Chain A
Amino acid sequence: MAHRWGMAVDLDRCTGCEACVTACRAENNIPTVGPDQAAAGRAMHWIRVERYWEGDFPDARLTFRPVLCQQCDAAPCEPVCPTYASHHTEEGLNAQVYNRCIGTRYCANACPYNVRFFNFFNPQWDRPLQLQLNPDVSVREVGVMEKCTFCVQRINAAEIQATADEKPQKDGDLKTACAQSCPATALVFGDLNDPESAVSRLSRSPRGSQLLGDLGTQPKITYLARQSQT
């Protein structure tokens, strides 16, 4: 049976520590753009931890919410792409094919979550920082869109491995970089087609909901609400 990769985000566990943000950067060769470009709104974070303030002193309250590509089943970014650079795979991933991207940036406009990022310039690494680059992941060049891939390089590797040693993957063997790093285990990644997988069980939680679900994008990421004492 084909996989259907999804994620559950427990907002009651998430502490906004941003370990996931750095993990993603390290795994996926996401460049740092430097202060000038960051100020110009070109900083790239495939996963970001949104923080929202509520109320005022002394009753101020703050909530964190990690936002990454929701890998929607009805993704607005896909139909608008004129070249199929952004398209849906058999396993339900929202693929972004860099070499096919011509940079219309339409997908980024259509994405309600603003999780797509554009290479405004060629990325650069001051030598020898480039020695850290992950050889399993492309280094994107100027003019192409990029976004969270659910660590497709890990998914592919795991699948190749599974076929090689002819045994199915176990739930929890395969983790995205963010889920792997999450110290409070707020991010859980897995196969939604496996009803017993941790992610499936969490996705069925009564606390669960989907980000902007009412837009009909059918995200494959479920957010479990943060509970409060009172």
Chain B
Amino acid sequence: MDRRIFLKVTAVTGTSATLASCGNPEHAIIRFIPEEEHVPGVAEWKPSLCPLCQAGCGVIVRVMEGDAEVVRNGQAGVMRMGLAKKLEGNPAHPISQGKLCGRGQAAIQIAYHPDRITQPLKRTGPRGQGQFQPVTWDAAIAELVAQLDGLVTSNNQRGLAFLKGGGRGQRDDLVSQFLDRFGAPPAVSFDLFNYDVLRRANLLSFGREQLPTFDLARSGYVVSFGADFLGTWNSPVAQHAGYGQMRQGRRGVRGAFVQVEPRMSQTGANADEWVPARPGTEGVLALGLAHVLLSARLRPADAAGRAGALIDGWNAGLTGYTPADVEKQTGVAAARIERMARALVEQPPGVAMIGGAPLAQTNGLFAALAVNALNALLGNVGQPGGVSFMPQIPATVTPRRSSPPERRTLQAVTAAILAADPSPVQVLLVDSTNPVFASPSGWRTREALLKVPFIASFGSFIDETSVLSDLILPDHAFLESWVEGRPESGAAVPVATLAPPALRPLHQTRATPDVLLQVASRLNKPLDFPWQTFDEMLMAAFATLPAPSADTDAWTAAQQQGGWWGAADAAGQTRPGGPAAQAEPAGRTTQAGGTNQGGRPDAAPVRALEAQFDGEPAAYPFHFLPYASHAFLDGSLAHLPWLQELPDAMTTAMWSSWAEINPQTASKLGIAEGDVLEITSTQGSLRTPALLSPGIAPDVIAMPVGQGHETFTRYASGRGQNPIKILASAAEPETGALAWAATRVRVTRIGPPNGDLILFAGEMREHPHEHEHER
């Protein structure tokens, strides 16, 4: 936005200014009779669920009366209605415990976003041009129904594909049932920063295909391998609460914490020790620690049990993982390894966690298994201060297929589409995911989607994926719809978050689950669902849960307090339910996903694998480390102005993207702060400002994911660069998960600062002069 435009809008003002101030009558605007009663000036708090990440924090919404511009039966006007003013953590919720991260609080801007899609849209221009025309809901649904009926008549039910984000709960359950009943293959879920590898590892090691929960509040010594657990990883808010307790919550005890990662993350900045190990060697380091414990007889080898048995050479005492050997591979001093290992047992309870980049290597699964084995060896699984698995509520109200659904990665699907002609996928439904932006160019997702004859999107915004669709059926904002979630980690008790709509819809949107149910009923061969609307389904689901008290039932109680959860035990402390503690605490709990009922796949011991990187070290001397942006995660939040203007915790950058580079390296390459760099991988190149940071290894270039959108609202479009584009499409072989940290790059200086890097802070050091002296 150049200054002229800026000035223009600065001066322009709206009617609300008038409404607020002296009353001159505004004849122009019609005022509708309010549909609900509110006491003006008095706030009401309603429960809801934060939709932004899989953590599933329960929130409360501050609702106050206000004037909103709405459209009622085709006429624009003003109406007095309850409006959401602020999001806070739900104090009663076991995961958020009354707290909420910055992203979660910014989620309120989704509901009020100026670029929200306000009504169904039908494509008019060529695909990707973003030319749409509004259509009525009936027309839109009719069109989608026609497409599906078409598949049925041509007896090609498997030609329907459903692409969704990660997530668990009734909504996803409804989708899978829809596909199941229709006869389509199960939904493909795509999420750049997914947890597939970790879930798989936990399944193998502990029989729980689930994210781990950490009882940090009572931990003594935490070693985190790349897990940004205070930023974006797993269940940040719950982990924050634990962290605060761990540091200063106990008299005389202060939990220690070591972060192993080549680029200091915001989490790493809080660590007592930062260990920049070589990328891809985290598993080796974990086994190095285990080796010390074993060789020093600090823990018996068999304590690791099955998790240990999975590691090749475990019972032999992990010969070949002596500190000396490990130092060679990881670059971490042998003495340091010794010290860390001893601390793990001397400052009990010691616990290790792994996440983020280490799992996004070609040897990610091995690393995860190694850390699992280390935890098992430390005997902290399911124990206070250790790692555990949150008891799960069955995520379904109808019996699932007997056979576990086959897993399909997006990569596989796009490959299939591009391979066959005509495309095996005839109708594609996309819900809350943006693979065109968040998948490496090697997958050619865009070309694949362009080959699909009909795409319908449920998105609320025109993004790189929905812009390709033929039909857009905009979903409600989460505050306007029934929300339900079944978090898999972050608390000690089973949790099912539930909330009715907190506000009336502002626009002509419809809740996607309701739309699916409508479509299901309007098909020539209706998929006979037992429910008309999503809330009926939720009611049925919650009917199966035990009532918290005699005078109420789970359903009504859940709506009031924002969800259903098993009681914490008498001590009031939330003891994590480990594998041992399956049956407790409250009601029916069972293992996650239902994919591994009872049995567990017996896996052969895995051998340490060398991490494979794309690109010759000679030609591409640097490891390229894209990381989940503190503000935007995988880029799905880049459209929120609050988050755009939030100074990045480490760099204080706003409205920017940048590449972090070690100062020594920079001076070698003649690069100064803000200089424009060209970062080139085998897949392509991008240009972005350099940001010199002492917190990154000399052979690593790090870049936050999230910016670089082509089309994603006025705030994100054309802003910054998207590092995913230059990632190689390497994958972790077992799970097929994208190894997004397995790319090498080269860096060249293109020119002086071009003003793209906007920093809030002036200086990076408290005593800049003294620092210059030291150097």
Contact = CB atoms under 8 A, between A and B. Distances in A.
A51 B272 CA distance: 16
A58 B693 CA distance: 11
Contacts of B267: 15
B506 interface: yes
B68 A131 contact: yes
Interface in A47-90: 48-58, 60-64
Interface string B237-270: 1001101100110000010100000001011011
Given A15-B243, A21-B646, A131 B83 contact: yes
Given A56-B694, A57-B694, A184-B244, A48 B647 contact: yes
Given A38-B758, A181-B105, A53 B765 contact: yes
Contacts of B105: 19, 22-23, 26, 181
A22 B642 contact: yes
B766 A52 contact: yes
A220 interface: no
A34 interface: yes
Interface string B623-640: 000000010000000000
Most buried by A among B109, B230, B256, B645: B645
A131 B269 contact: no
A13 B645 contact: no
A193 interface: no
Contact of B10 (A16, A61, A124): A124
B695 interface: yes
A154 B651 CA distance: 32
A208 to B, nearest CB: 12
A17 B239 CA distance: 12
Interface residues on A, range: 35 or more
B266 A15 contact: yes
B476 to A, nearest CB: 15
B711 interface: no
Given A36-B1, A43-B760, A183-B240, A53 B694 contact: yes
B654 A43 contact: yes
Interface residues on B, range: 35 or more
B664 A34 contact: no
A61 B247 contact: no
Contact of B108 (A21, A26, A56): A26
A175 B243 CA distance: 21
A227 interface: yes
A18 B649 contact: yes
Nearest to A123: B10
B236 A128 contact: no
A35 B758 contact: yes
B23 interface: no
A73 to B, nearest CB: 25
Interface in B585-610: none
Contacts of A129: 109, 112-114, 641
Contacts of B655: 34-35, 38-39
A34 B715 CA distance: 9
Nearest to B272: A229
Contacts of B509: none
Contacts of A55: 694
Contacts of B695: 53, 57, 60, 62
Given A15-B267, A45-B760, A58 B276 contact: yes
Interface string B217-240: 000000000000011000011001
A131 B256 CA distance: 44
A50 B506 contact: no
Nearest to B698: A57
B66 A34 contact: no
A109 interface: no
B151 to A, nearest CB: 39
Interface in A27-42: 27, 32-39
B240 A184 contact: yes
Contact of B256 (A17, A64, A229): A229
A25 interface: yes
Contact of A12 (B101, B248, B274, B764): B248
A64 B764 CA distance: 11
B402 to A, nearest CB: 42
Interface in A172-189: 177, 180-186
B86 interface: yes
B41 interface: yes
Nearest to A184: B244
A156 interface: no
B84 interface: yes
Most buried by B among A17, A43, A63, A185: A17
Interface in B76-130: 83-89, 98-103, 105-106, 108-109, 112-114
A26 B695 CA distance: 31
B39 to A, nearest CB: 13
B112 A34 contact: no
B276 A121 contact: no
B516 to A, nearest CB: 28
B684 to A, nearest CB: 26
A10 interface: yes
Contacts of A26: 85-87, 105-106, 108, 642
Given A26-B87, A57-B696, A132-B85, A62 B650 contact: yes
Interface in A110-142: 121-122, 124, 126-135
A153 to B, nearest CB: 11
A126 B114 contact: yes
Given A18-B649, A126-B714, A132 B241 contact: no
B205 interface: no
A122 B237 CA distance: 35
Contacts of B14: 127, 130
Contact of B649 (A49, A54, A185): A49
Nearest to B655: A35
A19 B775 CA distance: 35
Contacts of B760: 38, 43, 45, 48
Given A128-B68, A135-B66, A183 B85 contact: no
Nearest to A229: B272
Nearest to B645: A32
B645 A43 contact: yes
A128 B115 CA distance: 9
B276 A56 contact: no
Given A19-B105, A25-B642, A26-B86, A39 B114 contact: no
A18 B651 CA distance: 13
A166 B443 CA distance: 67
Given A15-B243, A129-B113, A183-B241, A34 B84 contact: no
B418 interface: no
A89 B102 CA distance: 31
Given A18-B649, A127-B69, A64 B269 contact: yes
Given A62-B269, A127-B69, A180 B88 contact: yes
19 contacts: A16-B650, A18-B630, A19-B102, A23-B88, A26-B642, A32-B645, A39-B758, A43-B645, A54-B765, A56-B694, A57-B694, A60-B274, A62-B264, A124-B9, A181-B102, A183-B99, A183-B236, A183-B244, A184-B240
Given A49-B647, A185-B244, 5 more contacts: A56-B664, A64-B269, A126-B714, A130-B112, A180-B98
Interface of A: 10, 12-13, 15-19, 21-23, 25-27, 32-39, 43, 45, 48-58, 60-64, 121-122, 124, 126-135, 177, 180-186, 224, 227-230
What are the 3 tightest A-B residue pairs by CB atom distance, in nearest-first order? A183-B240, A184-B244, A22-B102
